[in-house]
Amino acid sequence: MLSKLSEAQKILVSFSGGADSLALLLFAWKHFPGKTEAVHFEHGFRGEESLRDAAFCRTFCEARHIPFHLVPLDVPRNKINGEGDEEAARRLRLEAWKQLVSDPEHTVVLLGHHGDDAVENLLLRLFRGSNSSGLTALREERILNGICFLRPQLDMTRADIEAFLAENGIREWCQDSTNSDSIYLRNYLRNVFLPELSEHAPHAIGGMRCSLRSLADDADLLEQLSDEAYERCKDGCVDEWKALHPALLVRVLRRFLNGVVPARQAVDRLQQELQRSYSHPVRIDLGQGIMLKRTKNILSILPEPDRAEIIWNWKEEPDCCGLHAKILLREKVEDLTGGAAFFDADLMPETLILAPWQEGSRILTFDGKNKSLKKLFCDRHISDQDRRVLKGEDGTVYMAIGVRNSAVAKVTEETKSVLCISGDFMR
């Protein structure tokens, strides 16, 4: 890592004013004074306390003639719907780094994460069900958007860092008052769980750090294999996709989606569709507004769906946006519960409308109740942008896509022909 710092023409240090980033800035400035600059992000979360931290950082840098950049992010005002505070802050910081790093080939960015942060991150990611790449997300070196991010302090503990500062005569730094509030999971791990764990099992944290190194080695190998597999799969060859081991499938899919991290359910859905016997083209809804299309030989990414209503004459055009309609004789239909939606064909309008759901819409269920579509979609964890319905021209909802069909046009013993609507949404 020292060689990368020596070769760089500019070193930008992410400087929050806390002990970890202060020690990192001090180290970089002492060893590379002519090319070290500090960057402070003011996130807009903590009011006056946040502004005091920014002032502390500026004063510290001015006293040592370290170039200082103050970057206001105002995270609360710039969040995207569905984003948490931390997720939005990470996105905005990365966007800011892309503006700050004008020469990525000759610039490195230093981040102050240390060994204790890595253990906390391991536990948090473990609780979320991450794979080895996610569990070891805090690596010594990462290339994001062409920018080299380095974490030189991952082999140090918080105690090591504070000892380093004391040796250099520094005993004051910024303290985030929210860090003492153990209502937040990370703070609970830091303030309560890990100290108690150390009392009962003194070697546990050291063991987790050792596991992190092993997991990082495993993840590096899988990422390398995934790079090779992606070259075989990037053109969408279904046979190549079908041959992928699950550990590679999730990583190749991330590359295929240009860095979007797919949910576990989305990966499972894709794997099931790839292994299914091919009968007709289908759409595979991965959530997050992402839709794939599988034909017999090719897997491709569909453009973002048009949110306008689509008129579907299912008798003349059996296929529509991943839905497939066919007519069956009643006596040929033995199972009305799995894999498709079934209606009495003679009671169905010839024209249906595929449309985004509307707030307040309801559907007639088989227990005779008109239930809220919002609750049904929420219970199935279907995001707002993926909530679609099949309805008649009079507004009657016949089907909540991916959830259930209505009891309107219910198949009974008197039914002669059955309209079967199937598609990749059924799961």
pLDDT, tens only, 240-267: 999 999 999 999 999 999 888 888 888 9
pLDDT, tens only, 326-351: 898 988 887 776 668 889 999 999 88
According to CATH, what is the number of the domain 310-423? 3.50.40.10
Q: What is the pLDDT of residue 103?
A: 94
Residues of the chain with CATH 3.40.50.620: 2-207
pLDDT, tens only, 109-150: 999 999 999 999 999 999 988 999 999 989 999 888 899 999
CATH fold group of domain 2-207? Rossmann fold (3.40.50)
Of 65-74, 231-240, 351-360, the poorest mean pLDDT is in 351-360
Q: What is the pLDDT of residue 86?
A: 82
Residues of the chain with CATH 3.50.40.10: 310-423
Residue 377 or residue 24, greater confidence? 24
Tell me the mean pLDDT in the region 403-412: 87
Q: Are 267 and 253 in contact (CB under 8 A)?
A: yes
Of 227-241, 277-291, 396-410, 413-427, the poorest mean pLDDT is in 413-427
- Confidence band, pLDDT 50/70/90 cuts, at residue 56: very high
pLDDT surpassing 70 at residue 283? yes
Residue 345 or residue 179, greater confidence? 345
Euclidean distance between CA atoms 339 and 323, whole angstroms: 12
pTM of the model: 0.66
Q: Are 100 and 39 in contact (CB under 8 A)?
A: yes
Q: What is the pLDDT of residue 426?
A: 39
Average pLDDT over all residues of the chain: 89
Euclidean distance between CA atoms 339 and 422, whole angstroms: 7
Tell me the mean pLDDT in the region 262-278: 88
The percentage of residues in the chain with a pLDDT greater than 90, rounded to a whole number, is 54
Q: What is the pLDDT of residue 254?
A: 92
Q: Which two tokens stand for residue 407?
A: 């009891």
pLDDT, tens only, 358-383: 878 889 888 888 888 888 888 877 76
Q: What is the pLDDT of residue 427?
A: 34
pLDDT surpassing 70 at residue 82? no
pLDDT surpassing 80 at residue 304? no
pLDDT, tens only, 192-224: 999 999 999 999 999 999 999 999 999 999 999
Residue 381 or residue 107, greater confidence? 107
